Amino acid sequence: MQPKDILGRAGEDLAARYLNSQGLIILARNWRCRAGEIDLVAQDGDTVVFCEVKTRSTDNFDGPLAAITPRRLRRLEFLAQIYVSSHGLTRYWTRLDGIGIVHTASSGPRITHVQGLH
């Protein structure tokens, strides 16, 4: 496994624990279909939450959430529709969230959670 893959996996683990601590229930991790992958799928009451997780080892540039481009957001929305349809979850609300994690050697992890990306 490449160092960036290890960092990404650690970030997703941290994001899942964070969401659990906020009262969300993790429904799926790294859910895949032919069209792509969703990092985390969680339930927040009557809302199914689709999370894109971005982890960085430095605080350079605009931060990890800047990597969630409009194109990536459209892809996440498309994948969320497939997930909802394939799991029969049409009675639930949906939400797209971004979780950015900066994990530097000197400061440890810092989590930013943005609900309702649009």
The overall average pLDDT reported for the chain is 92
Beta carbons of 82 and 36 less than 8 angstroms apart: no
Helix (H), strand (E) counts: the chain:
2, 5
Domain count, the chain: 1
| Higher-scoring residue by pLDDT: 118, 84 | 84
Integer Cα distance of 44 and 113 in angstroms: 14
Q: Which range of residues forms the domain containing residue 71?
A: 3-114
Which CATH number goes with the domain that contains 47? 3.40.1350.10
What pLDDT digit, counting tens, does each position of 45-101 carry? Answer: 999 999 999 998 887 777 899 999 999 999 999 999 999 999 998 888 999 999 999
Between the two ends of the chain, the Cα-to-Cα distance in Å is: 33
- 35: confidence class by pLDDT, cuts 50, 70, 90: very high
| Alpha carbons 38 and 56: distance in angstroms, whole number | 18
